[in-house]
Structure 1
Amino acid sequence: MVSNKRSSTGASPSKYQTRTTSSRSTYVLAGVAIIAVAALVIGGVIWNSNRDKGGVDEAVLSQNAALIIGDAAAPRTIDVFEDFSCPVCKEFEQQSGQAIGQAITDGKLRIRYHMLNFLDKRSASGDYSSRAAGAAQCVGEAGDKDVFLKFHSALFAAQPEEGGDTDLSNTDLARIAGEQGANAATQKCITDGASLETAKNAADESENQLSKATGGQVGTPTVLSAGAPVNGILDGTGWLDKLLAQKDGS
């Protein structure tokens, strides 16, 4: 059974430190072998306890995706890891969301979305990332891929300020889902938080797989292709053009 234990629990303020990984601020978690240390990158970095060794498990990635969108016969499958509280993920969505959607429509891309939740404690409610991931899970379970993509974009557009005084309630999340075409049953699922625990479990295991792919240091947003991180995802859509232009096995 997947564990929901978070490495930041009980960490003292003195263990917080700044960690920069690129010219843009990304949200990073790094594994250490003995003790887990909490740290901040623009208000949101934690250190994870050492994860299981070994390579990425494709079956697990598939199982723990909030939704898999695109033709199974598409030449490329990617895994996208995001946190609905992450401002840099919002930037990624603004830059690449439309291009990703078009590649899916064109049959060139299959995508597995993984919604993480390590920024829960940076939200006013203390669990916004998890609740938003649970809402996405409800929408994904309904099986309407167009609604999921619209809802995914809408949540980033309505993203609460990190570390702010307010965030979105379940009722707010359900209303946004309804505005994107989610049916009454899906909206009730969101309002009731019916898929919250499923989303938390999926986030934990997806995070574990991402840790394996990155050697223990994981962050959002991250894109994996064939189990390896894709570079340049915050520099426009060139990363996607390059990926789609690759021949099989390249």
Structure 2
Amino acid sequence: MSEKNEQGKRAARDRLIQQREQAKARDRRRRTLIVSTAVVGVLGLAAVVGVIAANTDGKSDKSKASGPAVAPSGATGKDALAIRVGADEAPSTLTIWEDFRCPVCAQFETAFRDTIHEMERDGQIKVDYHLATIIDGNMGGSGSLKAANAAACAQDAGKFSAYHDVLYSNQPAETDDAFGDNDKLIELAKKVPGLDTPEFRGCVEDGKHDAWVEKSNKAFSDGGFQGTPTALLNGESIFPKKGDEPITVAHLKKWVAEANKGKKPATPTATP
């Protein structure tokens, strides 16, 4: 009887182990499904935002900023409308058009931020950010404009990349114009060491770069882009897909590697 009891106990333990392994496998499949669904959701939402952007062309920024367009320090590209992150010598350029109120832009950032920063640090790419304000036009308010101005003020302080990421990590709901409050934007600057200074506060409160942001938004509208985010690798659209391949972390790394084949990367640097 004792031997039979031992055999029964071993069988019970084996069944328990098998059940646990099956549960772990189901959990792994569930996580994979969630991640895959999230990526598909981003791509689907991108198409919706593109339609909205196309249908509201020219309607954002109801009250135009007065005065000349003052570009932030180090702005580059045509009419100095791009803020560059990464080494100028990097062999490939990732161009991103975005709106700090755009929920799909936040999803894009969440999915690809770490990969993009990794490739910046490794000298594989430089990223040219262009700022748009289409959600202000779609939903009303001024959060897109003011957040973009604050980001340009952070660029003046040499802290654009860090503040850019803070804004997306703390993005309000699309219908909530929280970024339209300068105090909120200054409060978020405290999350970036050394950014909350009198110079930064004055730049934000005075709307120093508002006219530059509006000029950037006009370039977005005139460029015929379908929505935000728009991402281009060396001028070729990669969001939501490149050719027949949808954008994923693995595909983005592969596309950059293909574009850089035979080219020397820039000297590795730390992300600002």
Q: Do these two structures clear the TM 0.5 threshold for a shared fold by scoring above it?
A: yes
Distance 1:239 1:174, change over 3 A: farther
> Which residue matches 2:185?
173
1:188 is matched by which residue type in structure 2? G
Identity of aligned residues (%): 26
Amino acid corresponding to residue 231 of structure 2 in structure 1: V
| Residue in structure 1 matched with residue 107 of structure 2 by the alignment | 91
- Alpha carbons of 1:246 and 1:190: their partners in 2 closer, same or farther (altered >3 Å)? same
Q: Distance in 1 between matches of 2:261 and 2:118?
A: 23
Structure 1 portions without partners, runs of 5+: 1-21, 30-39, 50-57, 212-216
**Aligned equivalents of 2:99 and 2:177: distance in 1?**
19
Contact 1:86 1:220 in 2 (8 A): yes
Moved over 3 A (4+): 121-124, 164-168, 231-236, 247-250
The structure carrying a bigger strand percent of its residues is: 1
Task: Give secondary structure in 2 for the equivalent of 1:77.
Answer: strand
Structure showing the higher helix proportion among its residues: 2
Residue 202 of structure 1: CA displacement?
A: 1.9
2:154 matched to 1:139? yes
| Post-superposition offset of 1:186 | 1.7
TM-score normalised by structure 1 residue count? 0.69
Q: Say yes or no: does 1:243 pair with 2:255.
A: yes
Map 1:106-125; keep pairs closer than 5 Å.
106-123=122-139
Question: Which of 215, 225, 238 is the equivalent residue of 1:201?
Answer: 215
RMSD: 2.8
Q: Are residues 1:127 and 2:142 paired? A: yes
Question: Number of residue pairs matched?
Answer: 197
Q: 2:50 aligns with which of 24, 28, 41?
A: 28
Q: How far off is 1:82 after superposition?
A: 0.8
Say which one has the larger Rg: 2
Q: Is the 8 A contact 2:144 2:179 kept in 1?
A: no
> Quick check: 1:131–1:170 contact (8 Å CA) kept in 2?
yes
Match of 2:81 in 1: 64
Equivalent runs, 1:207-226 vs 2, <5 Å:
207-209=221-223, 211=224, 217-226=225-234
Shift of 1:168: 4.7
**What is the one-letter code of the residue matched to 1:198?**
W
Alignment partner of 1:148 out of 134, 139, 160: 160
Q: Which runs of 5+ in 2 are unaligned?
A: 1-41, 59-75, 263-272
Give, as a single letter, the amino acid of the residue that structure 2 aligns with 1:230. I
* Greater RCO, CA 8 A, separation 6+: 2
Q: Residue in 2 aligned with 1:19?
A: none
**CA–CA distance in 1 between the matches of 2:88 and 2:43?**
35
Deviation track 1:211-244 (CA, whole Å, cap 9, x = no partner) reads 2xxxxx4211111122221144675312420222
Return the alpha-carbon distance in structure 2 between the equivalents of residues 59 and 249 of structure 1: 24
